Structure 1
Amino acid sequence: MRLYQLAAVIMLSVLTTVLVLTCLARTDGLLVYSLDDPYIHLSLAETILQGGYGVNQGEYASPSSSIIYPFLLAGAIAIGPNNWMPLVLNILPMMAVAWIFAGIYWRHAVNPAAQSSVMVAIFVLPFLLYALNMVALPLTGMEHPLHILASLWIMVGVIALANGQGISWMLISGIVLAPLIRFEGLALSLAALVALVVYRHIRLALVTGVVLGLCLTAYVVFMTRLGLPILPSSVMSKSAIAETAVDGGFSGILTTFKDTLWVGVARRAGAVVLIAFALIVLAISEPSRTRADTVIGMVGGFAVFAHLLAGDYGWFGRYEIYVVGIAMVSLLYLYGPWLREKTNRLWLRIVGTSALILAVAVPYLRVQNDTARASENIFAQQYQMHRFSTEFFPYPVAINDLGYVSYQNEIYVLDLWGLGSEEARQKNRRGEFRTEEIVGQTENKTIAYAMIYTEVFDEAIPAEWCRIATLTTPAVTAAYADVDFYLIERERESEIRLALEAFRQTIPDVASLGIQSCQDGA
């Protein structure tokens, strides 16, 4: 088994290295992540190191989707090269995930005495990596590999607990860390605490629960003292459940649960999660199942069900990936005896299992295929916007896609969408961010110009703004291909025009910049 686990880690290392080098070849040797989102965390981490919390010094905001990841990132960039630290914080836990997941598969799905079972295990190894998006996920630069690792720690710990192997440090650590890494981790942590109680470790469950509760309470107090909502703006902007709970009260939560479930299962990833939940329920419903089977199935099944009700999917194969891991571990354990049983039909079972793993892995193979192009996309769009705002026209700027523009930028950045500005988020949520609100925000912050997706604001863009340029790039993970530059302080027209002309000479071939006169674009 150890050899199989080592092979998984080596294979992941090679595949990830090749992917990183491929990305670097498309971005002039600069490490650029496949999403703009990690640059929000980097910007927040920079502010944390300066004693603040947000993307602009002296202005509080909570744009991060994780409680502890920005602080981990702040510690990392304090000792290492800023741009590479998210990759380091992703690759290391992902290697641990590969080791643990390969071990689980070998232990529960492989019969070492059957040559055909071993041969299929060797064949399916790369697809085990892709089934949890292990190759492409580190290039997103986000906290998801850490979340998967904490989730696997909990599942491995619960399996050990249920089988009389004692309390694992992984179980206790995972219970505390999972919700601090991603809020979705709370469901699995609560289920694991119940498992501790079931096996009469009541005092340990209480202490662990209190530690987790204190951590979450400290975060809530911290946010409240800063005058911010108890959930990050990024979570409320992307989660209907979170936004309804915090901004709209609890009356609409049941309706939102229903809507999330139906919308989710209509998507491929949601359908896979639903099928996994059904298979878990089917397994623990069998009368012959042991108490251990039932507890493990209920812990994993509860987390899967919670994601069906409140979770999201997609966003470059990252939102659902932790629950895919939980579901696969649960299913491998519950159906393991059937998979390993040596009969003349063993080959049929293992081939069928391999086919299911392949089916789960295929979408994430596509994500890996798109990762280098996505990195190039962020390089051509958001990184170039960052360059323009810091090197060519360093004045306060308004944007609607927070990320690279705010990273390593000491000039004020106004986020009109609301991740970096709680006032803007609330106005957007209430549908009040009309033309007069945009004018008020930009005048209050003395914004000189804007770089935005015109489609996002439709007719709310003030008529007095001058559309002076358009940056056109591919659209892989960027929301739109065109970013429009609007001049707000019209007396700076000659200055911005000179800056745009100089900037146009430096952008990569994959991008283009069209410049027009204010008279034509007003």
Structure 2
Amino acid sequence: MSQDPSNESAEVPAATSRQRRDMAWWIVMAVAVVGMVTMWWMIRDRTGEVSYTVDDCYIHATLAKILAAHGSFGIVPGEFAAASSSLNWTLLLAVVFFFAGPAAWVPGLLATIFGFLTLERADRWMRETGANRWMRLVVGLMILAYAPLLPIASTGMEHTFHAWSLTGLLLCLLRTSRNPGASLVPLFFWALVAGGARYESLFFLPILLPWLAAGGRWKTAVTLAAGMVLPAAIFAVYSMAHGGYPLPNSLMLKGNIDKAFEIRAFRVALENQHIFVLLVLLAVSMAAKWFRPGPDGRATLWISIAVTVTLLIHLQLAQLGWFYRDEGYLIVLALVEASSLGAALAALGKGRHFLVPMTACIVLAFATLPLFWRSSRATSEIVHAAGNIRDQQLQMARVTRLLGPGARVAVNDLGAVSFFSEARVLDLYGLGDNALARAKRNRTYGADRLQSRLEETATDFVICYPSWFTPPDNLPETLIPVESWDLADNLICGSERVVFYATDRASEIRLRRALDTYRKSFLPVPESTNQMTPLSDPTVTP
């Protein structure tokens, strides 16, 4: 008869929430606060305004703005678009926008706050698994540096929220396993938050549910599954009722769902050193727990296994993040799990020459060098990336505003244009347009389908990256090029060249007026490398 994992783990006393924070905690938080404040100040100094390191944060912000003001889920009031893969983040933004208005600084503030909260949950987790203060100090600083929390927060997106929710969920599950009679309400809350934070959270279920079932903890398993699946189920029903897919368009178009049966996880791990390092750390952690004497070793082995399996599923089905963000939650969880090596190193040093544990520490330190290099590069690119978004995406939004409320504009990089203007935006990529998303999935996307969609929506202007439209998915030949912008130092934008098009002669006149007004009203910052070149016939007059 198999032993209930919860019985073994119940022997381990848990730290209470009343424990006072020690110096290790305060040092980590002080470094985090200084780092975050410095980062946002440097971004502001470069851009002169609120700017993020990716344009995607404005997609969630647009959905939240429309939801708060009009009660509909989409990028155009009254029209549904399955454009968000983070339902809870969009809802959280909508709540804040409802009370404070759709301010551009809200996503960055929330991302920063949840970065701090991630460190808090990680520290609490390490306390309750017996890590000493020095290990918690080192791992806390490593999470801050290696996740890396600063670049992730600079995106203004949901990834710190995701890391916080999963850290809280696993900590709650750890507490539940140590106290089987405890209320399952906190577990349902964390499962609901994590399940709606990002769909990748569901990757934990294939390992956690069998583990709970093996221990006979069916109520816990049902509570966990119900909480995590509920947001996705509600969205699927709502989306299909409004003509969308059961999954968000971003997953249908960008994910690896079609490659689910290819063996790609290990290949991706070998191609990305920082991911390979995580697998090595998790393997060493599992070995240390397995051979560790006492009840606390194997009792928490399930956490290491769950994080490892989730990492492999992520590599198989999802992507590694644009600007380092999508795998951030895995790095946080893996580093927290690696804190268990502290006890193993302490045991290794007992009765042996001091060089033995020192050598082990040096080997582990060198093993994390790929994470250090990745973190250094990411941090050094923050200001540059934010400058790119300011110089290209935010300026495109300003031109769109000058076209007037209700202007019908098509873009292929949805975000700032839709958030900062009142235009009726058509997303040519398909994230914010179910019809074009379905055309891509059905392989009917192309110049003819784009032309018909522009006509169906009575679109007057197109602002896009021409490099994204290659045969057979060309842009319609009827478009009139009016002006091109070239970003010489592009790091993060989808392309260095943006072209403004009109769909007819009358629209061309309006667009030229808006561009002329823009150049007179908004002078470029000295650091901007955005070169603006009028195209077509410059002699067109009203």
Fold shared, TM-score > 0.5 on shorter chain: yes
1:65-214 correspondence runs (5 A)? 65-81=85-101, 82-102=103-123, 118=134, 126-161=141-176, 171-189=187-205, 191-214=207-230
Match of 2:392 in 1: 381
Shift of residue 469 of structure 1?
Answer: 0.5
TM-score by length of 2: 0.84
- The structure-2 alpha-carbon separation of the partners of 1:18 and 1:415, relative to structure 1 and needing over 3 Å to count, comes to same
Deviations 1:179-229 (A, max 9, x none): 211111012245344444445433233234334444432222111222211
In structure 2, the CA distance between the partners of 1:277 and 1:121, relative to structure 1 (3 Å rule), is closer
Q: What is the aligned-residue RMSD (CA, Å)?
A: 2.9
Partner of 1:364: 375
Match of 1:236 among 247, 252, 262: 252
* Deviation beyond 6 Å, 4+ runs, structure 1: 106-110
Tell me the alpha carbon deviations over residues 160-197 of structure 1, each in whole angstroms, 9 at most, x when there is no partner. Answer: 45556975876543333222111110122453444444
Q: Which amino acid is 2:400 matched to?
A: S
Contact 2:111 2:157 in 1 (8 A): yes
Relative to structure 2, which stretch is displaced further, 408-417 or 261-270? 261-270
Equivalent position of 1:53 in the other structure? 73
Determine if the alignment matches structure 1 residue 216 to structure 2 residue 232: yes
Q: Which residue of 1 aligns with 2:9?
A: none
Deviation at 1:381, TM superposition (A): 0.7
* 3-state DSSP of counterpart to 1:145: helix
- Mapped to 1, the partners of 2:100 and 2:200 lie a distance apart of 29
Q: 1:443 to 1:324 in 2, by over 3 A?
A: same
Equivalent residue runs for 1:298-313 within 5 Å: 298-313=305-320
Distance 2:503 2:466 in 1: 15
CA contact (8 A) 2:188 2:227 kept: no
SS of structure 2 residue aligned to 1:135: helix
Secondary structure of the 2:506 match is helix
Structure 2 Cα separation of the partners of residues 184 and 430 of structure 1: 25
Partner residue, 1:262: 267
Task: Work out whether residues 285 and 338 of structure 2, in 8 Å CA contact, stay in contact via their aligned partners in 1.
Answer: yes
Secondary structure of the equivalent of 2:301?
helix
Q: How far did 1:499 drift?
A: 2.2
The amino acid of 1:409's aligned partner reads S
Residues 484 and 532 in structure 2, CA contact (< 8 A), matched pair in contact too: yes
Residue in 2 aligned with 1:516? Answer: 535
Q: Rate the CA distance shift 1:213–1:517 in 2: closer, same or farther, 3 A.
A: closer
Q: Does 1:477 align with 2:492?
A: yes
What code does the residue aligned with 2:36 have? T
User: Is the 8 Å Cα contact of residues 409 and 462 (structure 2) preserved in structure 1?
Assistant: yes
Aligned-partner SS, 2:104: helix
Secondary structure of the 1:347 match is: helix
Residue 24 of structure 2 is matched in structure 1 by 4
- In the alignment, the residues of structure 1 paired with residue 508 and residue 229 of structure 2 have an alpha-carbon distance, to the nearest angstrom, of 54
Secondary structure, aligned partner of 1:508: coil
The question of 1:420 aligning with 2:405 is answered no
Q: Closer, same or farther in 2 for the Cα pair 1:519/1:88, shift >3 Å?
A: closer
Equivalent residue for 2:359? 348
In structure 2, C-alpha distance between the alignment counterparts of 1:127 and 1:281, rounded to whole Å: 20
- The SS at the match of 1:450 is strand
> How far apart are residue 2 of structure 1 and its match?
2.4
Residue of structure 2 equivalent to 1:42: 61
Displacement of 1:20 in angstroms is 0.3
How far 1:80 sits from its partner (Å)?
2.3
Of 146-155 and 354-363, the range deviating more from structure 2: 354-363
Which whole-Å CA distance do the structure 1 matches of 2:253 and 2:523 have between them? 32
Q: 1:494 to 1:359 in 2, by over 3 A?
A: closer
Residues 399 and 452 in structure 1, CA contact (< 8 A), matched pair in contact too: yes
TM-score for the superposition, normalised by structure 1: 0.87
Distance 1:206 1:165 in 2: 14
Task: Tell me which residue corresponds to 2:504.
Answer: 489
Count of aligned pairs: 502
Contact 2:51 2:387 in 1 (8 A): yes
Structure-2 separation of matches of 1:162 and 1:349: 31
Contact residue 467 and residue 518 of structure 1 kept, 8 A: no
Given that 1:401 and 1:417 are in contact with CA atoms closer than 8 Å, whether structure 2 keeps it comes out as yes
The alpha carbon displacement at 1:264 in A equals 5.0
Q: 2:465 touches 2:498 (CA, 8 Å); kept in 1?
A: yes
* Deviation, structure 1 residue 111: 5.5
Preserved CA contact (<8 Å) 1:469 1:513: yes
Q: 2:446 aligns with which of 434, 438, 441?
A: 434
Q: Secondary structure at the match of 2:390?
A: helix
Structure 2: distance between partners of 1:222 and 1:495: 38
In structure 2, give the amino acid aligned to 1:181: A
User: Are residues 296 and 253 of structure 1, via their aligned partners in 2, closer, same or farther at CA, if it must alter by over 3 Å?
Assistant: closer
TM superposition shift of 1:307: 1.8
The SS at the match of 2:339 is helix
**Cα shift at 1:262:** 2.5
Q: Does 1:321 align with 2:328?
A: yes
Q: Tell me, what secondary structure is at the counterpart of 2:494?
A: coil
- Superposed displacement of residue 135, structure 1: 1.6
Match status 1:294 vs 2:294: no
Q: 1:126 to 1:444 in 2, by over 3 A?
A: same
C-alpha separation in 1, matches of 2:370 and 2:444: 44
Q: Deviations over 1:256-304 (max 9, x none)?
A: xx24552453223443344345445655665979541432332223222
Question: What letter corresponds to residue 436 of structure 2 in structure 1?
Answer: A
What are structure 2's unaligned runs of at least 5 residues? Answer: 1-20
Distance in 2, Cα, partners of 1:11 & 1:294:
31
Letter in 1 for 2:510: E
Unaligned ranges ≥5, structure 1: 113-117, 245-251
Aligned mates of 1:125, 1:211 — CA distance in 2: 29
Q: Greater shift after overlay, 102-111 or 481-490?
A: 102-111
Query: In structure 2, what is the Cα distance between the partners aligned to 1:427 and 1:388?
Result: 29
Greater mean deviation of Cα atoms: 204-213 or 412-421: 204-213
AA aligned opposite 2:24: Y
